[in-house]
Structures are given as C-alpha cells and as structure tokens.
A and B are shown apart, each in its own frame.
Chain A
Amino acid sequence: MASIARCLRAARPSGLAALVKQPVPRLCSARTFSVSASNAIRKYTKEHEWIDLAADLKTGVVGISEYAAKALGDVVFVELPEEGKSVKAGDAIGAVESVKSAADINAPISCKITAVNTLLEEKPGTINQVPEDDSHGGGWIAKVQVEEQGVKDLEKLMDAEAYEEFTAAEGEH
C-alpha cells in the first residue's frame, strides 16, 4: 500500500522532506506508544495497513487504512491472503486492484493468516466504505494469529494519533 496512498498528488521522496522550504509542522513519532496488555491495540504501518491486536496478544485483525482507501479510488477486486500461511512483517499477503493498479497488501507484523474476509470477493467496494471496520460486514482483510515476534514487530508501528500526524505530514508535501 505504500505508493497508492500518495498517488493523488505529486509527492517527493521522503528523504527530501528536509529540503522542503515550507515548515513541516509535525513529525512522525512512531515510538511514543508502548504495548499494553489490558486493551485491544490498534496500530498502523507507514504503508497504511492497520492491525488490531487482541488484549491477549495472541490474535489480531488486519486491514488497510481509511486514508489509503480514499487514495486508492474504487476498489474493483481484492486478492485475499492465503489461509494458513505464515508471513513476516512486510511480506505481501494479498493485493487490491483499483484504477488499473494492483497494489500489494503487506503483513503489518509477523503472523499466521487464520481467516480471510470473503465478503470482499463479492463486494470489494466495502474497502472504500468501511476499511477500518473489523466486525462482520466490515472491510477488514484477514484474521491472524500472533506469536512473540509479531508482538515485537508491533513496537515499530504507529498508534492512531501518530498515524494521523504521519498522514497529515505526508499530505502537506
């Protein structure tokens, strides 16, 4: 999902952000959040996936962010992940097609795919309507099982507030 969220405007390589004349008011603060075992945790990747990790840190739900869904345009097909497959953080697990673009969906953390949202095969537009809904009828992509490495990977991701700042800063470029 890395590129698609940026496709509606002329963006610069992030490495050049420092050269931008106008001030960038907020910076990405990816590490201000610590994992709490008491509540379900939602985190986001820079590539615009989200993961909800259950309080027991064993199971989660994965999807793509509202910000990305908007930038994608009309989703016409979702290539769902393969059930039972174990993947590492960043691995491509599926893809969404919109406006002639096949965009990879990547695993936010190391995990094993336990279920996929078959509703999206029938109604791919659900991704545009409720991309961050992890309930029945929502636009979530896959349910996953998580082990130690996956929980560790979570530390590199952003919480909702940091992600909002990240996308706002991206949008200004």
Chain B
Amino acid sequence: MATRRPRPSRAGISCAAKLLIRSSHGQHHHSLFTTRPRVSTHGLLHPSHRRPFTTNLSKPIQIYRSPSTDPYLNLSIEHHLLQHTPPSSIILFLYTNRPSVVIGRNQNPWVEVNLSRLRQKPLPLTTPHHHPSSAPSPNEQQPTSLVRRRSGGGTVFHDTGNINWTVIVPPPIFTRTLHAEMITRSLIRLGIPTARVNERHDIVITPSSDQKDYKVSGSAYKLTRTRSLHHGTCLLSSPNLGQISGLLRSPAEAFIKARGVESVRSPIRNVGIDTERFIQGVVEEFKSMYPTDDDEEIVVVDEEIARQEGSIVKGMAELMSPDWIYGQTPQFTFSTHPTEDDPRPRPPLPEGIPREFSAHFTIRHGEIQTFSITGLRYTDDIDAASQDLALSQALVGQRIHHITDWRETLQSASSTPITDAQAVGGWLNTMFGLS
C-alpha cells in the first residue's frame, strides 16, 4: 500500500495549539486538548521520516482521543476538528460511545429504530477503557441514546465494546477505501488475517468455522469544500450483539414509505481485540501512512474544556435537539393500507381497531403536511365522516415529534369524544415508539 505523504503546512497552526494558547492561560490542564504522555504508544512507533522543517506549532498530522463516552459530545468534537483544523492537516480521532443507535444524516428514525425498545430497556455497559483521569460514567442506567450524525450512510449501534475511528484529510487525498484499508491492515497485524474491505466499504471478517462474511466495521463520509471526513465503527467486544438486530427493527417500517436512505442489514461479529491494542495498532498504521517526527502526539481531549468550547456547545445543542434528530427526517408517508405509491401488503391491525379504520399521512421536516383518517367511531355518531375530516384537518401542521401520546392528540383534535381513541391512539403510540 502506497504511503501518501501530505504536504506539510507551515502556515497551519493546529486547532489544538490554538485552543491551547487561547484557553490555557499558562495552565496546561485547562486546555481543551492535552498532550498525553507516551503511555500507549511507547515502543510501538518509529518516527522513521523526520522532517526538520516541521515545528511543534504547525502540526500537519494530529492524533486525538476522547475519554468521554457521550455520543453527542464525541460527534461534536469530531465536527469541531472537521471545521477547525488547518485545511492541509491530517487528523486521526478515536472514541467510544455509551450504548447508542446512530442513524445517518438522511435517515428515518421511525423506520430504522425500535424506539419503544430503545427508550425502555437500558443496555449493559462494558467496562469502558477510560483514560485514568476521566471520571466514572454517570450514565450507567441511561437508556440507549438516539443520535443523527452529520455523515451519510446507514444506522449503526455503538457501545463501549465498539470503537469509532475518524480520519479527516484534504480532499485530494480522499478515497472511500484509503482509510478502511488502514484499519484492515491494523486488524491483520493484530491477528485477524481474514479482515478485508468489501464492496460496500465495510470491513468484514471470514471466520474459518463457517466461511461466511461478518461485518465488523461500517463506514460513512462527510465531505465539505475544504475537508473530507471518513469515520467508521469497529466492533471489538460488544456484549450487546444479540440485542442489536431487535433494536434496529421498527414495527412501523411496514407502514412507512420514506425518502432518503435505508439501511442494509449485515450479520455482525466482534473481532475480539482489546481497545488499547486496537488503538495502538491503528495509530501505528496511521503513522506509517503519514510519518511525523513527533512521537508524543496522542492528544487526549479535556472533556471539561471541550464542553465549554463555543462550537462544540453549539454542535451538541444541535445534535441533541428533537428538531435535528426527528425534524431532519426526509419526507415520509404512513399508510395503514396499501397505496399506489406503496402497494406492499400491510400487517393486520390489532384487535379493537374498527374494521373500517384507515389512516394516511405525510410528514415533511417533522411536520404533518396532509392527514386523512377515516372509519373512527364517535360517541355522538351523527356524521362520523365529517368528524373524521375535521379531525384530520386539525392535525395538519402539528409536529410529529412533539406528539407524546396519540390518544390525547386524537381526542383533543376532535370536537366530539372518540370511541376508539384508546385503541387507535395506543396503536399509533406503538408505531411511533411512544408506548
């Protein structure tokens, strides 16, 4: 594999350095990024190519690691690095997240995720491989986080048995496979000889026991005018593999036709490598692709300072807002029955829902654009059809992710009490993960 050497930039003062200068006030521990001593890299890295003209302040190659397992924080640190590192620099960033389902930029959470299960059932955490200085995770009992990332692609599951790696490069260096192959070479050197990049840019392994490919790492990309970001997962030792398939199977999928991106299911497996060994292996491989004369350069992000950095605060607020997670969903249509656009046969509706009942609605940017409900029964049953129409009209304009209980929403949109509000509303709650 060819080594592509970046052009070292004298002009680009690294993001880390800037922040260090700005926030440290001479106190090293107050900076956003602190240089980690050679603990994990000692003896592994060989600075074989020395470039005497590279100064400490203009680092063309930067390696970061986050001690936090907060997915919103880690993705916001990553976005900060994408936006604020010098255009010619090459960045490696490594982090693990607490249990999270991470959907792609243009995906539909109601199609991709079993939201009821996600909200109800906290998953066990593995022992996080924290940097010694970090506090124990206060999130032990939190339910799995739902995250919409900024890159494309499909839905993946993270936990602390999974590691995320990010490489940010100038556009001319970028290819979709370059850094997936970097990870593959690391895995091979760490004793996984069958690791390879498949046609979907996933990394798969083929255990000799059954000669079948198992995905261990998925990729996604975010490309801006000046920077190209490739990030991926790698399942090392997740204790939750058995849960993932159920978590990523939505009861509403059969009723929704969505624009945007649908995930492709693949059988998955852990590679069974310790997090620290994996990090060492990847750093070593990264450094052999992009040699530097600095062997003390794994920088551990200071979580406290990161949480105060303006662009990270802003990034986190956006990633955590329902308007981003749900409101950024591409247009979709929910239909209880087959339609011309979506002729798939539908699963039977549960008992208690009237036989004549049907619902068909379109959501754009989280907002109900059209709503048509028919076949409901009302306690005052003089003209059910016009009641259905009035109810439908009252729902147009509501934001789907602001609805917390469809039973209440249906009832309060109707001027007449609805006989079936519990049954129909309860079923819609199940569909939208509110039960």
Residues of A within 8 A of B224 (CB): 2, 92, 104
B contact residues around A2 at 8 Å (CB): 171, 223-226, 228
- Measured between C-beta atoms, what is the minimum distance from A11 to chain B in Å? 5
A77 to B178, CA, bound (A): 24
Stretch from A12-20, A30-38, A144-152, A153-161 forming part of the interface with B: A12-20
Q: Are B173 and A7 in contact, CB atoms less than 8 angstroms apart?
A: no
Residues of B within 8 A of A100 (CB): 104, 151-154, 176, 201, 219-221
A76: which B residues are within 8 A, CB to CB? 106, 260-261
Instruction: Assess whether B278 is interfacial by the CB under 8 Å rule.
Output: no
Residues of B within 8 A of A79 (CB): 105-106
Q: Does A164 contact B (CB under 8 A)?
A: no
A141 vs chain B, min Cβ distance (A): 15
Residue of A nearest to B224 (CB): A104
Q: Is the pair A102, B152 in contact by a Cβ cutoff of 8 Å?
A: yes
Residues of A within 8 A of B219 (CB): 100
Chain A residues positioned under 8 Å from B354 (CB to CB): none
Residue B174 interfacial (CB < 8 Å): yes
Using C-beta atoms within 8 Å of the partner chain, give the interface range for chain B.
35 or more
User: In the complex, what distance in Å separates the CA atom of A60 from the CA atom of B6?
Assistant: 38
Q: Write the nearest CB–CB distance from B71 to chain A, whole angstroms.
A: 18
- How far apart sit A44 and B388, CA to CA, in the bound complex (Å)? 53
> Is the Cβ of B222 less than 8 Å from the Cβ of A121?
no
Number of interface residues of A (CB under 8 A): 33
Q: B residues touching A (Cβ–Cβ < 8 Å)? A: 2, 4, 6-7, 88, 104-106, 150-154, 170-176, 178, 201, 219-226, 228, 259-261, 330-331
- The prevalent SS among residues of A at the interface is mixed
> B259: which A residues are within 8 A, CB to CB?
77, 121-122
Enumerate chain A residues within 8 angstroms of B174, measured Cβ to Cβ.
3, 6-7, 11
- Residue pair B220, A13 in contact (C-beta under 8 Å): no
Q: Contacts A47-B225, A100-B201: A9 and B175 contacting too (C-beta < 8 A)?
A: yes
In the bound assembly, the distance between CA atoms of A9 and B104 in angstroms comes to 25
Q: Can you list 22 A-B pairs with a CB-CB distance of less than 8 A? A: A2-B171, A2-B228, A3-B172, A3-B228, A4-B223, A6-B172, A10-B178, A11-B175, A13-B6, A15-B7, A77-B259, A95-B105, A98-B152, A100-B176, A100-B220, A100-B221, A101-B222, A102-B221, A103-B221, A121-B259, A121-B331, A122-B259
Residues on B with C-beta less than 8 A from A92 are 224-225
Contact present for B223 and A103 (CB under 8 Å): yes
- Confirm or deny: A90 has a beta carbon within 8 angstroms of a beta carbon on chain B: yes
Contact of B150 among A10, A102, A121 (CB under 8 A): A102
